[in-house]
Every structure is written in C-alpha cells, then in structure tokens.
Structure 1
C-alpha cells in the first residue's frame, strides 16, 4: 500500500510540473497581439481586397482601399487627391475625425504596405492616433460579436501636415541637388508642399538642406536591381535600399529595431529622408513607420517611380 501511495504521489508531482509551463505561456499571449490597440472602441479599417474582407473580417471593421484617396491620373496614382477636404468629409461618414483612434488591419508582409499607406494618409490629414496590426491576430482577439453600427462624425476641415510628403518638382530638385528657377505666375491663395519654394521646403535654405538629404528606396532587392535612381547620372543625392517589410514586425506593428541598420547606411534622425517606391504605397508605409521611430524629417514621394519616369 505504501508503495502504491508513493507512486501516486510521484505521478501527481510530475503532472503538476508539466502543467506549469502551459499556464505561463497562456498568460504571455500572442507576441504583438493588439489587446491594447483594441481598447477604447477604435475605428477599425481593413485594407485587404473586398473578396478577402467579405470571407472573414473583424466585427465592425470597414473595408477601404488606398486608391480611394488617391489621384486617378495613371501616371501618378500615388499622389493624394487635390480636394483633401472632400476626403475628410468621407472619413467623417465612417466615424473618423482628428481625435479618433484608428486601427488599420491588413496582410502585413503578405501585402504591399497598404496599411501603412492608409496610416500615412490619415496622418497627413491630421489624424494622429493611428496604428497598424495584422488582421488575423486582431480577428483572434474578437472572433465573435455583432457588427456595430458606424457612427458618423460632423464634417471637419483637415489641417494638412505638409511635412509628410514631397511633390515631384521638389523631389527632383533635391535628388539632382540643383535648384530650379522659380516661375512665379501670380500671388498664390495658399501654400502647400506642392507650391512652396524649394529653398524653404524643409525650413532651411537649399544648400543647407541638400547636404542632409538621403533617398530611401523601399522596394524589393529585385526591383532595385532592375532599376533605381543610382542609374540616373543627374541624381547626386545618396540612395539607400531597405525593403519596406523590415520596418514592420510579424504582427504588423512598427518595428523599433532598425536603428543600428539605418545608422550603418548613413540614415540618422537628423537626416532628411525622401522615401520612394513604385507609386507611393510602400513608401507611404515606411514614412509612417519612420515617423513612429523618431525620424521626424521623413517625407513620402507619393508619385514614386511611376511619376519620376
């Protein structure tokens, strides 16, 4: 009897030892899971294609595409629409204003940076509490539930953050390090990044600014190898290539671990970083990520190679 009781005691002790690690693992949760991101009833946007969205999505998510806010010109699809007030009105109809918390869901590395592009667009319009996450992780946090009704917000006039983007004229001026002659055709009603004199775009004179500029190409290695700005003899500004995926974690949050790599390539927080991709989507995502990382002089060349050509 004693032997049986002793064996039973040992068996119970072994079972207890085996169950302890399982409990610890469950308390840690999924790495990068957006538990806190979902606090406060944020507006949830899903940037995946409509077919994938309709198959499965987080309850209450709204399906949008980056193209909804961009130019219809086939040569510059990445450039934002001219009437940004109209864009803001449309956002108000889905419950977004400058004070809204917005969580943008997408496919992460399996996509093309659409989440970050939308995040960049919202920040241009003055919406600052913006986050990105992986749609599968977010859906796992709330697999059931009713679709909440969209609550409209009053129309609002966007306060455009002109420091987040650069137009083709200014991009070319800094890429070639040549100041083009300014042709003044009359007094302008308003000044945006698209009509500011090149010399004052970054709050400093042209010669001072051009010494700090670096071009960051965020396309894939293959795309960069086929064609990039270093192949144009008139481009004098340094060009660095880092693929956009490196700026985001597996859970699609902004990565905080690229500082050493960026510094090794000459990219430091004091630099003016002009980010480029094919048509401003991946570069928009990286501009959003860089700003979150503290590189406050990052700008998206939204026209991209599509407009450069």
Structure 2
C-alpha cells in the first residue's frame, strides 16, 4: 500500500511540473485597418516580393514592384522609364487614374522604402491621393475574403510633375555649383545660353537656386560612412544625412513631426532639398514624405549614387 501511495505522489508531482503546451495559432496576414485609410474602396498595391505576397496578402491587393516602372539600364536603375504614357496605360488596367485613391502596402522599416518609391512614382504621373501603410493593414469591407475584380479605367495621359525629380546633369550642376551647358541640337546657340543648366529648379535662376540647395542623403549611417558626396572635392552644396526610416511611423504613415528634426539639421521649407540614395528607392520614399510634410521644394535624384559614379 505504501508503495502504491508513494508511486501516486511521484506521479502527481511529475504532472504538476509539466509546462503547459504551447498554443499554436496560424499567422494572420492582415489585421484591422484604420477606417479612413480604407474608405472609398481604394486600389490596394502590395510592393513586397511575389513569394511573400503569395503567402499572405490583403484581399484585393495587387502585387507590384518598383522595378516595374524603372529603367533597365544597370547604371541607372532608379530612373523612371522614358515612356511615362506606357506606365499610365498599365496603371489604368489595374484601376488607377489621376482621381483614384491608392493605398500602398509594404514591410515598413523592414523593407527599403519601396512603398514610398511607388507613391512618388504615382505622384510624378499626377496621381495625388496616395497613402502608405503596413501590409498588415486589412481591407474590412470584404468579410468573405473573396478577391474583388479589378475594374479597368479609361486610358489617360499623365500630367507629369517634373518638379519631383532631377536628372544627373542638373543634380551635378547644383551639387557642384557649376553651370551645366545645354545639349547641342545642331543649331547655333547664343554664347550666353551655353552656360545655362538644362532646367531651373522651382522657377529660380541658377545662382538663386544653388544658394538654397541642400543635399539630403537618406541611406543608413554605415553606408554614408563608407562613401558620400562630402568626399568629392567638387561638391559645394551642403550634405546632410538622415536615414529614410526617420520619416515614417511604425504603421508606415508619414511622421507629422519630422519638420522639427529637419530644422535641427538646417533644412527648412524654404530650402531646395535634393534627396539621394543608392538608386532612387529610399530617396523616392523620402521625397514623397517631404512633400506630404509641406516641403514643396524637395526633389528626388532617382539615379542616385549608382548614376553619380
């Protein structure tokens, strides 16, 4: 009897010491969405890699990559395709026109600013009602989880906002404070026009604009430390480093208080901010964020260091 009682006590002690089994739950790819963000049945774009998108995505989202709209030249991958009308035609097939509301989903700080880059691209083409958010934002208007059909829009011609980007020759001209000559077209140019840049920034003449220019490098500090524009003796414009992640909240929306941090670095709204990264993705995201924050004289050097070299 004692042996049986002792065995029972040992068994009870053993059971009591066992940890509770881990509760296994399936990961949900989406969570509740802010109502205002998803109001009006927006077009939802998801910029993650196809593999991640296929594992889990918001019902109705369309998978796009920033490379879909960019140059195939390996030395200037960040530059938009020459035929912007062709991009607009492609967008119309997925329901996007200048009047569309677009929500762009991605990985936020775990990515490389792809959401903001697509937002910048749409802004360039004249699509203004654009928002960024984490891919974990859900579209709650479809309780059955069915994929809604994409409704095509009529083909439209983009009204290009050229103030959102700058080409390599002009970036170099303003960065070095040196005038960039116009391309010769076979016609004889007046001597004075030979020293003018290809285009002026925000309607200012070259001397007025170059005095307001500041270069904003939005790469990580480690990248900046390895190579940046201050190491080039011909660069005269001031260079400021502030990582692109500083411009976005945890939910991937644009920070409302970024203005204070920029002012502490000498960047005010009267400055012309030329934004640079390696190949125009993170700098595109920051240009989008700057414009949303009221910095109307911000411009993306889409070619980035890749083209600068």
Q: Give the TM-score, by structure 2 length.
A: 0.84
User: What's the counterpart of residue 100 of structure 1?
Assistant: 100
Matched residue SS, 1:105: strand
Q: Distance in 1 between matches of 2:265 and 2:138?
A: 34
Residue-by-residue CA offset, 1:249-287 (whole Å, 9 max, x unaligned): 000001111111101111001100000000000000000
Gapped runs of 5+ residues in structure 2? 1-30, 188-195
Q: Distance in 1 between matches of 2:109 and 2:264?
A: 24
CA contact under 8 A between 2:168 and 2:303: conserved in structure 1? Answer: yes
Shift of 1:142: 6.6
Q: Structure 1 pair 201/257, CA: closer, same or farther in 2 (3 Å)?
A: closer
User: What's the counterpart of residue 172 of structure 2?
Assistant: 172
User: What's the counterpart of residue 80 of structure 1?
Assistant: 80
Please, what is the CA RMSD of the aligned residues?
Answer: 1.8
Please state if 1:133 is matched with 2:133: yes
Please state if 1:67 is matched with 2:105: no
Matched residue SS, 2:262: helix
Matched residue SS, 1:138: coil
Matched residue SS, 1:136: coil
User: What's the counterpart of residue 233 of structure 2?
Assistant: 233
User: What's the counterpart of residue 303 of structure 2?
Assistant: 303
Q: Distance in 2 between matches of 1:169 and 1:95?
A: 35
Shift of 1:139: 6.1
Residue-by-residue CA offset, 1:194-229 (whole Å, 9 max, x unaligned): xx9446233111000000000000000000000000
User: What's the counterpart of residue 279 of structure 1?
Assistant: 279
Q: Distance in 2 between matches of 1:41 and 1:181?
A: 48
Q: Distance in 2 between matches of 1:132 and 1:143?
A: 23
User: What's the counterpart of residue 266 of structure 1?
Assistant: 266
Q: Distance in 2 between matches of 1:156 and 1:176?
A: 38
User: What's the counterpart of residue 46 of structure 1?
Assistant: 46
CA contact under 8 A between 2:167 and 2:303: conserved in structure 1? Answer: yes
How many aligned residue pairs are there? 271
Shift of 1:181: 2.5
Matched residue SS, 2:299: strand
User: What's the counterpart of residue 159 of structure 2?
Assistant: 159
User: What's the counterpart of residue 149 of structure 2?
Assistant: 149
Residue-by-residue CA offset, 1:101-143 (whole Å, 9 max, x unaligned): 0000000000000000000000000000000000113368977
Q: Distance in 1 between matches of 2:116 and 2:147?
A: 25
Please state if 1:118 is matched with 2:114: no
User: What's the counterpart of residue 289 of structure 1?
Assistant: 289
Q: Distance in 2 between matches of 1:116 and 1:269?
A: 20
CA contact under 8 A between 2:113 and 2:282: conserved in structure 1? Answer: yes
CA contact under 8 A between 1:33 and 1:251: conserved in structure 2? Answer: no
Residue-by-residue CA offset, 1:155-187 (whole Å, 9 max, x unaligned): 100000000000000000000000022233158
Q: Distance in 1 between matches of 2:110 and 2:51?
A: 16
Tell me which structure has the larger Cα radius of gyration.
2
Matched residue SS, 2:80: coil
Q: Distance in 1 between matches of 2:143 and 2:220?
A: 34
Q: Distance in 1 between matches of 2:221 and 2:289?
A: 20
CA contact under 8 A between 1:108 and 1:250: conserved in structure 2? Answer: yes
Matched residue SS, 2:105: strand
Matched residue SS, 1:120: helix
User: What's the counterpart of residue 211 of structure 1?
Assistant: 211
CA contact under 8 A between 1:198 and 1:206: conserved in structure 2? Answer: no
